[in-house]
Structure 1
Amino acid sequence: MTSVQAEPNDYDSFAVAYAAKNETSLHNAYYERPAMLDLAGDVTGRRVLDAGCGAGPLAAALRERGAIVTGFDSSAQMLELARKRLGDDTELHLAELGGPLPFPDAAFDDVVASLVLHYLEDWTAALAELRRVLVPGGRLLVSVDHPVIGLVQPDAADYFATYRRSEEWTMGGHTAVMSFWHRPLHAMTDAFTSAGFRIDVISEPFPAPGAREKFPEAFVDKPSGAFVCFLFFVLRAA
C-alpha cells in the first residue's frame, strides 16, 4: 500500500527513492542535467553555488569538471545523501531558497538553480539573494518547468496567470503530492530583469545523445526528438 504525504514537496519523505530515480531517468539524467552542464560550459576553477542541490548529482558533475562547488537544500535527508556522495570536500548547508543564505556578498562566480524556482510563488526574495551572492558579471543558470506544461494539466488555468498546480509522484512505494507554480514566460523574464539580471540565453534543448535508444517509448510521438518539458536561462548579474 502506498501513502500520500500531508504536506506537498516533502522530499524528506521519499529522498532515497527520488535520488535513485534522478540518477537514471530520462528527464533528469538525459535531458535536464546534460543541458545545464552544456550551458555552464568550462567551469574550471569557478566558485559555483548549487541552489537546491538535492542529493548532489549536478554538484558532483560540476566538481568533476573542475568547479569549486558549494550547495544548499531545504531537505535534510537529501543533504545527507549529498554528503555521502560528495564527502567532506564540498561545503553543504541546510537552507531555504527564498530565505537568507549563509554566504557573504559576491561569494560565487556562478549559481545553478536546477528545477527549484518553480516551487516558489514569489521569486523576488530568492532572486535578490542569489544576485547578492554573485560577483558582478556572475552567472545564474536556471531551469524551470516550461510554462506550456501547465496547459495540459487537469488543473490548468489561464496561461497568463500565476497559479499553483499539483501532481502525484509515486516512487519506492510512496506517493508524494508535489506542487508547482505556473507562470508565463514574460513573468519569468520580468522577474529576472527586475532582480538585476541580464538575460544572455533562453534555451529549449533536445535530450542528450542516447536518450532515444534508452527510452524509445518516450519518443513514439516525438519524431523530431524534441521535448517541451523544461525551459533554461543563462542570466548575468548586472
Structure 2
Amino acid sequence: MTQDTDYDSFAEAYSTENETSLINGFYERPAMIKLAGDVRNRRILDAGCGSGPLTKALRDRGASVTGFDSSEAMISLARKRLGAEADLLTADLGQPLPFAEETFDDVISSLVFHYLQDWLSPLQEIRRVLRPGGRLIMSVNHPILYPWTNPGSDYFKLTKYSDEHTFNGQPAILTYWHRPLHEMTDAFAKAGFQIEVVSEPPFSADAPPELIPPQFEGRESFLSFIFFVLRAK
C-alpha cells in the first residue's frame, strides 16, 4: 500500500508486540475472526497481511488464503510463520492487484485503509478480484479517534497525522489519514459494495487482567477501531 509508514524498519518489533497485545491480540484480531465466521473451503485474500497472524488463523480454520503486503520484511516474517509453501507476495494495495477478476470469496483487510489517502481505487480493485456476492471484511481506525485525541480538530476534514508508538521497546512513527464516517461509506457505495455489518466490538474476555489499563476496569468495550462487513454487489 502506498503510505508514509515504513514498516520494514520495525517489522519484527511490531510483529512481536502484536502477538499478545490487548489492542491486536485480544481485540482487533479476535473481532476479525468472529466477523469472518465459518471460512472452511473459502478462498480468501488477506490484503495487507503483515507478518501473517490473521492469515494463519483463517488457514487453521479451513480457508485457502493468499496474503500480500507492501513490506518485504513483513512478508519475510509471514513466510517464517506460515512456511515456504504459503501463498504470499509483496504487492501494493495502491496499485493494480496481480489477480484475475472474481478470484476470491472474501477479502480481509486488517488495519490497512487508514494508511491510504485514496480509498476508492483500492476498493474498486478489491471489488474486481471478489466474486459477486463476496465479502470485504475490514478494520480501520475509528473516525472519532483523531478528533477525540486532538481537541479542536475538524472531524469532517480529511487529515493526515502521525502518532508515536513503541513496539517491543522499539520506537516507531505511524502516519494515518483521518476521514469522517460518511466518506468511508460513500467510498464503499461508489466501489460497488453494500454494508452488512458495522461493528464496535468489545475486547476478548480471554484478555489477561494485567493487559487491561486501569481506566478500562469494569468495562467491556473501548473505542479504537471500527469494523465493517461489506458485500460485493
Q: Same fold (TM over 0.5)?
A: yes
Question: What residue in structure 1 maps to residue 143 of structure 2?
Answer: 147
Letter in 1 for 2:219: S
Out of 105, 109, 125, the position equivalent to 1:129 is 125
Letter in 2 for 1:229: S
Out of 142, 161, 176, the position equivalent to 1:180 is 176
Out of 222, 226, 235, the position equivalent to 2:221 is 226
Out of 179, 189, 198, the position equivalent to 2:194 is 198
Q: C-alpha distance in 1, partners of 2:25/2:169?
A: 22
> How many equivalent pairs are there?
231
Out of 73, 87, 99, the position equivalent to 1:91 is 87
Q: C-alpha distance in 1, partners of 2:63/2:146?
A: 35
Letter in 2 for 1:232: F
TM-score, scaled relative to structure 1: 0.93
Letter in 1 for 2:225: F
TM-score, scaled relative to structure 2: 0.95
Structure 1 unaligned runs (5+)? Answer: 1-6
Q: Is the 8 A contact 1:14 1:172 kept in 2?
A: no
Question: What residue in structure 1 maps to residue 20 of structure 2?
Answer: 24
Question: What residue in structure 2 maps to residue 158 of structure 1?
Answer: 154
Out of 81, 101, 104, the position equivalent to 1:108 is 104
CA separation of 1:41 and 1:80: change in aligned 2, threshold 3 A? same
Letter in 2 for 1:115: L
- The alpha carbon displacement at 1:221 in A equals 4.3
Out of 51, 54, 65, the position equivalent to 1:55 is 51
Q: C-alpha distance in 2, partners of 1:156/1:11?
A: 30
| Higher mean C-alpha deviation, range 174-183 or range 11-20 | 174-183
Question: What residue in structure 2 maps to residue 208 of structure 1?
Answer: 204
Q: Aligned-pair RMSD on alpha carbons?
A: 1.6
- The alpha carbon displacement at 1:171 in A equals 2.8
Q: C-alpha distance in 2, partners of 1:173/1:223?
A: 29
| Higher mean C-alpha deviation, range 192-201 or range 81-90 | 81-90
Q: C-alpha distance in 2, partners of 1:220/1:127?
A: 36
Structure 2 unaligned runs (5+)? Answer: none
CA separation of 1:124 and 1:193: change in aligned 2, threshold 3 A? same
Q: C-alpha distance in 2, partners of 1:214/1:162?
A: 36
SS at structure 1 position matched to 2:154: coil
Q: Is the 8 A contact 1:12 1:76 kept in 2?
A: yes
- The alpha carbon displacement at 1:86 in A equals 0.7
**Percent of paired sites with the same residue:** 55
Q: C-alpha distance in 2, partners of 1:169/1:195?
A: 33
CA separation of 1:43 and 1:119: change in aligned 2, threshold 3 A? same
Letter in 2 for 1:141: I
Cα deviation digits, residues 80-104 of structure 1 (max 9, x gap): 0001111133211111112111111
CA separation of 1:81 and 1:163: change in aligned 2, threshold 3 A? same
- The alpha carbon displacement at 1:178 in A equals 1.0
Is residue 65 from structure 1 mapped to residue 61 from structure 2 by the alignment? yes
Q: Is the 8 A contact 1:156 1:165 kept in 2?
A: no
Q: Is the 8 A contact 1:212 1:225 kept in 2?
A: no
